[in-house]
Amino acid sequence: MSQSEPMFLRSFALLALAFTLSSAARAADLQALSIDPAHSRIDVAVRATVDSFVGNLTAYKASLEIDPSSGQIRQAGLKFAFADLKTGKTDRDAKMLSWEDSAKFPDAAFVLTGLKAASDGSYDATGTFTMHGVTRRISFPVSVTTDRKTYAVDGSVKLDTRDYGLPVIRVMMFLKVDPAVVVRFHLQAVAN
């Protein structure tokens, strides 16, 4: 080992430490927004051979954090219990919970890992979505409007439930529930 190698390793270690401390300081400087549940909604559209429906999340925990100097969203997350997804039919809700095995996998979660401006003024969101014990990377377009006090985030994402280890629902050979569902959301939040 040459004498310059230990110096290089020390310099690299110091640079890595400085980057880590800088990232932690930036994360600590983020400002949490307060989600307004009265003006927010999350729906799941499901197509079926007969009786397509839209489920609504009646409860969830969502978080949005911004860089206060730029007003840009830097972190976001969502967590919900499948028992809080209501379709308007109690029997169908019970069957959905059984199909998803909610006793073993009661929750689902999304964590934003990136938000990149697109050429049309929208954003490309990337993150991880966990459902039925499986975590997958997803990406989808979102729009963000703000006056720097109120933020509105709108978007939709198509998820194939087979990617999360869930079976296709078939009834009597010819009736089928499409495994691709569309999650639509509008989150409204205010800066504290």
Question: What's the rounded Cα separation, in Å, for the pair 5 and 129?
Answer: 42
State the pLDDT confidence band at 174, using cuts at 50, 70 and 90: confident
* pLDDT of 88 higher than 90: yes
Per the structure, the complete domain to which residue 104 belongs is given by 31-191
Q: Is 74 part of any domain?
A: yes
Residues of the chain with pLDDT > 70, as a percent, come to 85
Q: Is 70 part of any domain?
A: yes
CA 167 from chain center: how many Å? 22
- Cα four-point dihedral sign 161, 166, 170, 173: positive
State the pLDDT confidence band at 8, using cuts at 50, 70 and 90: very low
| CATH number, residue 173 | 2.40.128.110
Question: What's the rounded Cα separation, in Å, for the pair 162 and 155?
Answer: 22
Q: Is 3 part of any domain?
A: no
Among 88-102, 105-119, 169-183, whose mean pLDDT is lowest? 169-183
Among candidates 111, 103, 119, which has minimal Cα distance to 138? 111
pLDDT in tens, 118-167: 999 899 999 999 999 999 999 999 999 999 999 999 999 999 999 999 99
Q: Is 15 part of any domain?
A: no
Chain-wide mean pLDDT for the chain? 89
Among 47-51, 78-82, 130-134, 138-142, whose mean pLDDT is lowest? 47-51
Q: Is 9 part of any domain?
A: no
Question: What's the rounded Cα separation, in Å, for the pair 43 and 46?
Answer: 10
What does the pLDDT read at residue 77? 98
Q: Is 44 part of any domain?
A: yes
Query: Between vectors from CA 96 to CA 94 and to CA 100, what angle results, nearest 5°?
Result: 120
More confident site: 4 or 159 = 159
Q: Is 23 part of any domain?
A: no
State the pLDDT confidence band at 81, using cuts at 50, 70 and 90: very high
Number of domains within the chain: 1
For residue 96, report the phi and psi dihedrals to the nearest 5 degrees: -65, -45
Q: Is 145 part of any domain?
A: yes
pTM over cut 0.85? no
* pLDDT of 65 higher than 90: yes
